[in-house]
């Protein structure tokens, strides 16, 4: 039984990763061509990011890096698929071979969510000076707070990232440790 689930899970993962190479998944579940979201496949942001490097919309993403300088702040994001509730449990069951209750194997399910990499390329986007940054409930966090949080936590946070006219207008943490 577990072997069958594993093969089905692998087949689903291959299809999703294959689709993720061609499409980036937005927060509402719609997909946009990933070439519209590419600032390059490198994780190092460039301060000279073109405003049209990503389509306007809301995305679930993890933050790979933040580059702050006097002129601007540019972040590198990795698209992810974010599941909540029963969809989170279903997705985890597809991805994880667990011999016990799935919540014991996937800690994030205890907080009601599950995260899967989408396979879409990393994208870079400037964060506007007046952008809303909300981290772990702190709705008045700063660009520096976001930079300090990257890599400094025991978990990898997922953010809801709003892009308007090629720039980030809002970054809100949606996961809990």
Q: In this predicted model, what pLDDT tens digit does every residue of 84-110 receive, in sequence order?
A: 999 999 999 999 999 999 999 999 999
152 vs 30 pLDDT, higher one: 152
Q: So what's the pLDDT on residue 96?
A: 96
Q: So what's the pLDDT on residue 113?
A: 95
Determine the Cα–Cα distance for residues 9 and 21; give it in Å rounded to an integer.
18
pLDDT at 81 over 60: yes
- For residue 102, the enclosing domain spans 2-173
How many separate domains does the chain show?
1
Residue 53: φ, ψ to 5°: -70, -15
Angle at 162 between CA 88 and CA 128, to 5 degrees: 145
Q: How far is CA 123 from CA 38, 51, 76, 85, 130, in A?
A: 5, 12, 6, 28, 21
* pTM of the complete model: 0.68
Average pLDDT, the chain: 77
Scan for tokens 């919309």, then name that residue.
57
- Cβ contact 120:37 at 8 Å: yes
Q: So what's the pLDDT on residue 32?
A: 43
Share of the chain above pLDDT 90, in %: 57
Q: So what's the pLDDT on residue 53?
A: 60
Taken as a whole, the chain contains a residue count of 177
């Amino acid at each position: 039984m577990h072997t069958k689930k594993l093969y089905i899970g692998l087949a689903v993962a291959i299809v999703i990763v294959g689709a993720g190479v061609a499409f980036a998944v937005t927060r509402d579940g719609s997909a946009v061509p990933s070439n519209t979201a590419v600032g390059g496949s490198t994780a190092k942001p460039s301060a000279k990011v073109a405003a049209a490097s990503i389509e306007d919309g809301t995305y679930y993403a993890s933050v790979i890096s933040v580059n702050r300088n006097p002129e601007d702040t540019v972040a590198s994001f990795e698209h992810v698929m974010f599941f909540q509730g029963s969809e989170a449990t279903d997705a985890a069951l597809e991805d994880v071979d667990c011999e016990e209750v799935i919540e014991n194997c996937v800690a994030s399910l205890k907080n009601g969510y599950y995260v899967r990499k989408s396979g879409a390329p990393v994208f870079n986007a400037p964060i506007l000076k007046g952008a809303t940054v909300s981290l772990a409930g702190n709705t008045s966090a700063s660009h520096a707070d976001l930079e300090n949080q990257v890599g400094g936590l025991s978990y990898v946070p997922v953010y809801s990232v709003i892009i308007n006219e090629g720039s980030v207008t809002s970054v809100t943490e949606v996961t809990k440790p």
